[in-house]
Chains A and B, each alone.
Chain A
Amino acid sequence: QKEVEQNSGPLSVPEGAIASLNCTYSDRGSQSFFWYRQYSGKSPELIMFIYSNGDKEDGRFTAQLNKASQYVSLLIRDSQPSDSATYLCAVKPPGSARQLTFGSGTQLTVLP
């Protein structure tokens, strides 16, 4: 089992819809969770991070964390064509000061 798994995609949604991106992780003790957006040919940029169970909202983005079920999701409301990108989920394993473990990403296309 991969340590961090994302829905394989690609995912297409119409403009104005809600895009839902999911991520599950295997290490129950994981502490910190991050969502990065990566445009084609570019480096990842941080969108959201979440440490506690529940929802965290930032503009059109909401991160949801459920540690009991070991999943974290990203909702994008009122999706725009400019949201079309690959979204990477990253998890900080317990006791690891060294690194993040990344999922392979979900490609999102927002159709005008």
Chain B
Amino acid sequence: DGGITQSPKYLFRKEGQNVTLSCEQNLNHDAMYWYRQDPGQGLRLIYYSQIVNDFQKGDIAEGYSVSREKKESFPLTVTSAQKNPTAFYLCATTGDSNQPQHFGDGTRLSIL
């Protein structure tokens, strides 16, 4: 099955803890993106990567980190520096910057 897999579906973070959200794709897409969505809001870009071993900050990168060691994988770490992490996190990919982005099913992160 081709697609974008995000895991886990739900995640809870304790104070002072770092947590990592997984995004895997088998679409052979070069570009991958992480967005954050707060209730009733649009999507805001956290980080993006257009090629392996390279990534760029988006509009709200503070308190987050990423890596892109493989084309298929773009994990997002929510660090303890992110003071308001409760949100719906969405991973997207595209094979061409002019083409639409397609999304995974998302991870919902809450604070314990």
Instruction: State the majority secondary structure of interface residues on A.
Output: loop
For B90, the closest partner residue in chain A by CB is: A43
A98's partner among B40, B48, B100, B102 (CB-CB below 8 A) is B48
Closest B residue to A104 by beta carbon equals B42
Q: Is the CB of B43 within 8 A of A44?
A: yes
Given contacts A43-B106, A49-B100, contact A102 B42 (CB under 8 A): yes
Chain B residues within 8 Å of A44, by CB: 43, 90, 103
Contact A43 B105, CB 8 Å, known A98-B48, A99-B58, A104-B40: yes
Report the nearest B residue to A51, measured CB to CB: B98
Q: Contacts A99-B33, A99-B48, A99-B58 given: A43-B103 contact, CB under 8 Å?
A: yes
Check if B41 sits within 8 Å of A104, measured CB to CB.
Answer: yes
Q: Are B103 and A45 in contact (CB under 8 A)?
A: yes
CB distance from A80 to the nearest CB of B (A): 23
Minimum Cβ distance to chain A for residue B12 (Å) = 17
Does B56 sit within 8 A of A, measured CB to CB?
yes
> At the interface, yes or no: A25 with Cβ under 8 Å from chain B?
no
The docked-state distance in angstroms from the alpha carbon of A43 to that of B43 is 11
Indicate whether A100 sits within 8 Å of B40 (C-beta atoms), given known contacts A43-B90, A43-B106, A44-B90: no
Residue among A34, A42, A90, A100 with max Cβ neighbours from chain B (10 Å): A100
Q: Taking beta carbons and an 8 Å cutoff, which residues of A are in contact with B?
A: 4, 31-32, 34, 42-46, 49, 51, 88, 90, 92, 96-100, 102-105
